[in-house]
């Protein structure tokens, strides 16, 4: 096992990866939501379209888990997208209880149109970064996300917690 990066004695919030990720999320969300103000599509709806389009999710339950949304709210959002002709529900042929979602051609067009706003936003944010630096950030965050996904939720992070009095 590698030497631990953090020590309790020197740990501080501003140098915590968790703090920095949370801070970035708090800074990011209102700014990208503002890109959708006055539009027929919300940022959350766009995220659902993109997660379906990119194969990250395929059902309402997967969307709710992936985006950490309430299942009822997710179902209502998918209902709205379906009424607008942006997604389609298809019952699974192997398990009739499962309803798969797919983005319609109109949904693909809407997702692409709004993607331009997000691309422009990120290009402005990354303007001072070299391409290699931006790629490194993406690679490291992807690796971090995969590592955290492998960890059980609610379990102790290591054996030391079990040995504590």
Residue ranges per domain, the chain? 13-116
* 62 pLDDT more than 80: yes
pLDDT > 50? residue 163 = no
Measured CA distances, 164 to 4, 142, 159 (Å): 18, 32, 9
**Per-chain mean pLDDT for the chain:** 91
Instruction: Provide the pLDDT for residue 164.
Output: 39
From the list 36, 56, 60, the residue with the least C-alpha distance to 113 is 36
> What percentage of the chain carries pLDDT values higher than 70?
93
- What mean pLDDT do residues 30-45 have? 96
Residue 160 has pLDDT above 60, yes or no: no
CATH class of the domain comprising 13-116: mainly alpha
Summarize pLDDT for 79-104 with one digit per residue, the tens. 999 999 999 999 988 988 899 999 99
Q: Quick one: pLDDT at residue 162?
A: 43
DSSP per-residue string spanning 114-148: HHHHHHHHHHHHGGGS-HHHHHHHHHHHHHHHHHH
């Amino acid at each position: 096992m590698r030497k631990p990066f953090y020590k309790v004695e020197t740990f501080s919030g501003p140098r915590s990866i968790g703090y920095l990720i949370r801070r970035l999320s708090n800074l990011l969300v209102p700014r990208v939501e503002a890109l959708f103000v006055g539009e027929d599509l919300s940022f959350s709806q766009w995220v659902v379209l993109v997660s379906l389009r990119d194969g990250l999710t395929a059902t309402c339950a997967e969307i709710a888990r992936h985006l950490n949304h309430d299942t009822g709210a997710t179902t209502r959002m998918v209902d709205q997208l379906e009424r607008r002709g942006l997604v389609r529900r298809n019952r699974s042929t192997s398990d009739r209880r499962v309803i798969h979602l797919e983005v319609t051609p109109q949904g693909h067009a809407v997702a692409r149109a709004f993607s331009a706003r997000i691309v422009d936003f990120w290009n402005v944010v990354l303007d001072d970064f070299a391409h290699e630096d931006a790629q490194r950030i993406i690679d490291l965050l992807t690796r971090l996300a995969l590592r955290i996904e492998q960890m059980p939720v609610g379990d102790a992070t290591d054996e030391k917690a079990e040995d504590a009095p």
